């Protein structure tokens, strides 16, 4: 994945989260965007003004506040960062179930050390990132499945398991 004004021939495949972060950092440096980005900040208020600009009240983690006018406002709330409750279709499943928000280096190390088999359910960005990373590292036997619902998964497989090989 790459922007048309900053192509990257190495991005012709699905990149890992780290590779994509590096690409975005390179893009930002190339176009001089760093001085327009406010890291470690919270937007406390956003008001659309009569001239069509956004007036933002921003609070830094240090506690200082400032007002900034912006041409555009992008709201990226991370609506999928909290897991849904485990569905009833998994009652009786004795394997481990984790949400992508719980995926981290400790889990990856556990998969490698215990030679776990992992089923990644879903083809969204997080699922694809995890599948690409674990597959690229050749840490495990990787299974992928895109289902309309978890009950589709449970009924179409014979009790998918995350277990030792």
Sequence-distant (6+) residues with CB within 8 A of 164 are 114, 115, 116, 117
Q: How far is CA 116 from the centre of its chain?
A: 22
Residue 32 scores a pLDDT above 90: yes
pLDDT band at 158 (very low <50, low <70, confident <90, very high): very low
Per the listing, tokens 């790459």 go with: 2
Per-residue model confidence as pLDDT tens digits over 79-121:
666 777 777 777 787 888 888 888 888 888 888 888 887 877 7
pLDDT band at 45 (very low <50, low <70, confident <90, very high): very high
Residue 80: phi and psi, rounded to 5, are -100, 15
The model carries a pTM of: 0.49
Residue 163 scores a pLDDT above 60: no
pLDDT band at 1 (very low <50, low <70, confident <90, very high): low
Per-residue model confidence as pLDDT tens digits over 112-148:
888 887 877 776 777 777 877 777 665 444 454 554 4
Question: What is the H or E stretch that residue 55 is in?
Answer: strand 54-60
Q: Pull the structure tokens for residue 135.
A: 């597959």
- What's the rounded Cα separation, in Å, for the pair 18 and 108? 15
Domain spans of the chain, in order of start? 9-70, 88-156
């Amino acid at each position: 994945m790459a922007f048309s004004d900053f192509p990257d021939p190495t991005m012709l495949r699905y990149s890992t989260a780290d590779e994509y972060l590096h690409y975005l950092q390179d893009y930002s440096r190339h176009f001089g965007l760093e001085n327009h980005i406010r890291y470690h900040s919270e937007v406390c208020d956003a008001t659309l003004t009569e001239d069509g600009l956004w007036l933002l009240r921003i609070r830094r983690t240090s506690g200082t506040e400032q007002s900034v006018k912006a041409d555009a406002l992008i709201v990226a709330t991370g609506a999928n960062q909290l897991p849904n409750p485990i569905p009833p279709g998994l009652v009786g499943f004795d394997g481990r179930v984790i949400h992508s928000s719980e995926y981290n280096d400790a889990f990856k190390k556990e998969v490698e050390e215990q030679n776990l088999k992992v089923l990644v359910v879903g083809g969204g960005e997080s699922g694809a990132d995890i599948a690409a990373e674990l597959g690229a590292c050749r840490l495990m036997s990787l299974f992928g499945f895109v289902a309309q619902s978890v009950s589709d998964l449970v009924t179409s497989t014979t009790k998918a398991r995350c277990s030792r090989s």
